[in-house]
Amino acid sequence: MKHMNVMIVHDFLETINRIKAILEELGHCVPLIVYETSIALKVLAEDEAINLVVVNWNMPDKSGYELAKELRDRGNQTPVLIIVNRTMPETKKKATELSNVATFTVDNRQHKLTVARMRNVIKDLTKNKSR
DSSP assignment of 43-105: HHHH-TT--EEEEESS-SSS-HHHHHHHHHHTT----EEEE--TT-HHHHHHHTTSTTEEEE-
pLDDT tens for 77-104 read 999 999 987 666 777 778 878 889 998 8
Evaluate if residue 43 carries a pLDDT over 50.
yes
What's the mean pLDDT in 96-113?
85
pLDDT band at 130 (very low <50, low <70, confident <90, very high): very low
At residue 1, the pLDDT reads 61
Q: Is the pLDDT of residue 131 over 50?
A: no
Confidence of residue 113 (pLDDT cuts 50, 70, 90): confident
Which amino acid makes up residue 99?
A: S
Q: Which amino acid is at 81?
A: L
Burial of 11 (0-12, 13-18, 19+ CB in 10 A): middle
pLDDT score at 92: 72
54: β partners: 8, 81
**pLDDT of residue 117 exceeding 50:** yes
Q: Mind listing the pLDDT tens digit for each residue in 48-70?
A: 899 999 999 999 999 999 999 99
The predicted-structure confidence for 7-39, as pLDDT tens digits, reads as follows 999 999 999 999 999 999 999 999 999 999 999
Q: How far apart are CA 64 and CA 59, in angstroms?
A: 7
Q: What is the pTM of this model?
A: 0.90
The phi, psi pair for 8, rounded to 5°, reads -100, 130
Predicted local confidence at residue 68, as pLDDT: 96
Question: What one-letter code names the amino acid at 131?
Answer: R
Q: What is the rounded CA–CA span in Å between residue 32 and residue 128?
A: 23
Q: Topology of domain 5-126, per CATH?
A: Rossmann fold (3.40.50)
